[in-house]
């Protein structure tokens, strides 16, 4: 059994709400560092959510984070929470679903590596 998987703490809706609330405290001209262990899943999902909350359209936020972190695989559980919390009606989930489908066609083994993007 892989210790990384068994020791992983699944992000909760409250975690995502806390991230979005904390981001509101950053001054408009301030900077915010968003990071996680690998820098490709939880952090990219959080960054996308923060950018949308600050006024970017979902696709624009997704594209901005992807440009900064091309190896991203946003945590889809967190994306679901962001979509719901920000009232996006499934728009962000659809963007991420399409992205995963495209990546998994090119790299089928990513399902195992990224545990389907839910990182559980």
- Tell me: the pLDDT tens digits for 71-89? 898 999 999 999 999 999 9
- Determine the Cα–Cα distance for residues 116 and 111; give it in Å rounded to an integer: 5
Q: What is the pLDDT of residues 1-18, one digit of tens each?
A: 444 555 667 899 999 999
Which two structure tokens, joined as six digits, stand for 6? Answer: 């068994």
List, for residues 42-68, the tens digit of each pLDDT value: 999 999 999 999 999 999 999 999 999
Q: Which long-range contacts (CB under 8 A, 24 or more apart) does 20-23 make?
A: 20/49, 20/50, 20/53, 20/82, 20/85, 20/86, 23/50, 23/53, 23/54
Residue position matching structure tokens 């990546």: 103
């Amino acid at each position: 059994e892989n210790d990384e998987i068994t020791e992983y703490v699944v992000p909760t809706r409250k975690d995502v709400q806390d991230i979005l609330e904390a981001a509101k405290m950053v001054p408009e001209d301030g900077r915010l560092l968003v990071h996680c262990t690998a820098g490709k899943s939880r952090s990219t999902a959080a960054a996308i959510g923060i950018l949308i909350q600050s006024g970017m359209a979902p696709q624009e936020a997704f594209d901005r984070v992807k440009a900064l972190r091309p190896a991203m695989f946003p945590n889809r559980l967190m994306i679901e929470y962001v979509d719901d919390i920000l009232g996006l009606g499934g728009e962000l989930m659809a963007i991420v679903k399409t992205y995963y489908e495209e990546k998994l066609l090119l790299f089928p083994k990513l399902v195992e590596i990224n545990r389907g993007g839910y990182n559980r």
